[in-house]
Chain A
């Protein structure tokens, strides 16, 4: 599966009819324009003053381009009245970046460790535990939502809680609460395990004979050979966490802990007219995703086919 996609189509070269290609352009190019239009409008409007955003007909090219919206959003320059309960919106992005990176790093480590023992070790209870992980892959997050909220609330000795987990808010409204429940993923373990199964046992046995410790075998032999699958899961985890909205919405209450999607969504619900600030914010929240995607495009798409075809 690896890399196949990049070569898509070229092997058919010259075999298809010209007609098909003409049809493709006639349909695909206008379609692509429709797909890009909302982005183009978002980008253009983010440089327009509020009055121009509310203009009829809509302007595709800013008449008086301005970066005031960006400045306001990032807390530079003077604030233009509407909706400034978000005092430091730039923190949303720092929070998102921190949370998404932490979750990704923890997941890579924990998932790969678990995947390694599931794929390459034999010990009592292995298959039972693995089945347990698999069986819960389909559980929708809403089922565990309320219990997890309560668990976080009662973590002892955090957030004003006593040793019995009473009295405070525990890990609610904290980075711990955003990061730890997502620090391991059954799907990630499954994907990595499937990939590690294809590493020949002889390689590991040879290292054992040479006296390599199990951790060394995991870190020096298995991990490097799992590169593409690790990269794919890392990209997925990062983007998923970056744009996750539901969980932060439930557990985060103070604006200083907002992630970018949460901050933006609450902003749009509360300030129905502050589009001049909201749109620059949307652009800033989107850019990291698009950059990550453009840089890792091949891996991204490989990852989808990896999970899609094996999963």
Chain B
């Protein structure tokens, strides 16, 4: 790393050792052959550690320690109020496997993710493809599709809760008016409709993000590829199928990973719109963790659930990266 060029040598001679100001440059005299010891290098770069200190301190407490403590809690029973937390081995894990509500919450989370992530990405891609043309007013259109993304999620959930209102909601009004339904639907209070309703709202809230990421992805595709495809006689659909979609693969992977991570943690909509009901039909994993910890005060069990969520996300992400790498080579 030490690029010893002509310009630096005089400066070095003038100020032989400057521990405080030398970071990247090694100021060792060119004659010295051996690397200095680790202690010397640490002392010499003491200020680098100083710059790192605030971040490292917060990180150690709120992430590293927290991870360890949560893991410790998974083997204990603790209601947070009492000082003692008895060690119970794998009891929490065993309870979890037999817990009907936990199974329900995993199913609900999968249902939510499996529907909302692909829908959000597909619609986002569609809008991006249409917007990626010299349209008049495309800036405005893009802004309008993106607005839900910048709206606080709590607000989105509040407004949609009203739209789904059984007696006065806009959904029922327009569906009844167009005779698509004969009876008002209960939406969030109906055990088969509640989850689809939450999904529809979440898709609405997320399309703008996929659209913008896809637009950026579309921009990075070289125009020459399209020209070459045209020369080969590829029509619009063939160009989409064989040029655009494959070239968007990294973008798609990014959105998929982010989408799955995000929707596995779905909580706000559930809290505001359904509180997990009706009869647990919208109780997702994070909502269940929240209830276990701060409604039933079972800190050990809640930590166990949280770790399982973490493990699932981890495995999902690894599989996706692996698949991506395999299909890419």
Contact = CB atoms under 8 A, between A and B. Distances in A.
Contact of B220 (A4, A208, A239, A279): A4
A28 B131 contact: yes
A111 B59 CA distance: 11
Contact of A208 (B3, B25, B47, B255): B25
Contacts of A4: 216, 219-220
Interface residues of B, number: 112
B151 interface: yes
B158 A36 contact: no
B317 interface: yes
A246 interface: yes
Nearest to A264: B154
Contacts of A305: 212-213, 216
Interface string A249-279: 1100000000011101100110000010011
Given A35-B204, A136-B67, 11 more contacts: A16-B133, A24-B131, A109-B54, A110-B58, A145-B293, A180-B62, A184-B54, A208-B24, A264-B154, A265-B271, A290-B147
A209 B261 contact: no
Interface in B247-268: 250-251, 254-255, 261, 264-265, 267-268
When A and B form their complex, which 4 residue pairs have the shortest distance between CB atoms, in order from nearest? Answer: A305-B216, A123-B45, A144-B66, A243-B152
A41 B155 CA distance: 13
Given A56-B173, A144-B62, A183-B58, A150 B69 contact: yes
Contacts of B145: 31-32, 35
A246 B289 CA distance: 12
Nearest to A25: B135
B23 A304 contact: no
Interface of A: 1, 4-5, 7-14, 16-17, 20-21, 23-25, 27-29, 31-32, 35-39, 41-42, 45, 53-58, 109-111, 113-114, 116-117, 120-126, 129, 132-133, 136, 138-148, 150-151, 180-181, 183-184, 186, 189, 201, 204-205, 208-209, 211-215, 218, 239, 242-243, 245-246, 249-250, 260-262, 264-265, 268-269, 275, 278-279, 282, 285-286, 289-290, 292-294, 297, 300-301, 304-305, 308-309, 311
Given A138-B313, A147-B73, A184 B168 contact: no
B151 A120 contact: no
Contacts of A211: 21
Contacts of A24: 130-131, 133, 135
Interface stretch (B97-105, B113-121, B159-167): B159-167
10 contacts: A5-B212, A9-B135, A55-B168, A117-B23, A117-B52, A121-B24, A124-B41, A144-B70, A184-B55, A246-B268
B254 A264 contact: no
Nearest to B54: A110
Interface secondary structure of B, over-half rule: helix
Contacts of B215: 5, 8
B101 to A, nearest CB: 16
B35 to A, nearest CB: 11
A27 B153 CA distance: 26
B158 to A, nearest CB: 5
Most buried by B among A143, A262, A265: A143
Nearest to B23: A121
A260 B168 contact: no
Most buried by B among A11, A36, A239, A282: A282
A309 B220 contact: yes
B51 A114 contact: yes
Nearest to B208: A35
Given A58-B173, A117-B52, A268 B272 contact: yes
A86 B209 CA distance: 34
A249 to B, nearest CB: 8
Contacts of B195: none
Nearest to B168: A54
B188 interface: no
